[in-house]
């Protein structure tokens, strides 16, 4: 789907442009060495795409999108209606610094917790009402999504 794949043992610290620009991590676009964290970046773009039902970097050519990501550190805009926990996960996935992107085991755990909260009907308010402070987000989602649920990377840093 996103270009040429390979075994991690053969691609570790691989270099070169293999993929689709709209979903491609900055380090790939810049043809720098990369790791599996490029897949996390692409997954973040896919989650954004599923959330918005839009094409990433709509109105740009693929090359313009690549330039925006690699040279201007741009990302697609998150809608105000995006749940804060989901918005936070997306932003972590497409972090410019690959080491700050979560592992897929963490992503799965966060999405499982998110699903559990939704199923239990716990309150997940809109992003617009939670923009005041990080503490407001933690207070509002207390008991649903917290930094103490034994994840390698806490949902809120």
Domain that holds residue 57: 1-77
Domain count, the chain: 1
d(CA 129, CA 134): 12
Do the domain assignments include residue 117?
no
Do the domain assignments include residue 120?
no
Average pLDDT over residues 76-97: 94
Q: What is the pLDDT of residue 19?
A: 60
Residues 6+ apart with CB under 8 A from 82: 51, 90, 127
- The 10s digit of each residue's pLDDT in 6-35 is 544 555 444 444 568 999 999 999 999 999
Do the domain assignments include residue 7?
yes
Do the domain assignments include residue 54?
yes
CATH number of the domain bearing residue 7: 1.10.510.10
- The 10s digit of each residue's pLDDT in 120-153 is 887 654 333 333 434 444 444 444 443 334 333 3
Do the domain assignments include residue 101?
no
> Residue 116: pLDDT band by 50, 70, 90 thresholds?
confident
- Segment 146-150 long-range contacts (CB within 8 Å, at least 24 positions apart): 149/109, 149/113
The interaxial angle of helices 37-52 and 104-120, nearest 10 deg, is: 30
Asked whether the predicted pLDDT for residue 157 surpasses 60, the reply is: no
Do the domain assignments include residue 84?
no
């Amino acid at each position: 789907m996103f270009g040429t794949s390979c075994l991690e043992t053969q691609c570790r610290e691989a270099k070169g442009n293999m993929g689709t620009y709209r979903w491609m991590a900055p380090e790939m676009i810049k043809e720098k060495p990369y790791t599996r964290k490029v897949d996390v970046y692409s997954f973040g773009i896919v989650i954004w795409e599923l959330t918005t039902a839009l094409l990433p970097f709509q109105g740009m050519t693929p090359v313009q999108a690549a330039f925006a990501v690699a040279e201007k550190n741009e990302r697609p805009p998150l809608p105000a209606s995006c749940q804060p926990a989901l918005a936070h996960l997306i932003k972590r996935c497409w972090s410019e610094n690959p080491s700050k992107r979560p592992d897929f085991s963490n992503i799965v755990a966060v999405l499982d917790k998110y699903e559990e909260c939704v199923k239990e009907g716990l309150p997940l308010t809109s992003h617009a009402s939670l923009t005041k402070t990080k503490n407001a987000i933690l207070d509002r989602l207390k008991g649903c999504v917290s930094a103490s649920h034994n994840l390698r990377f806490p949902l809120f840093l």
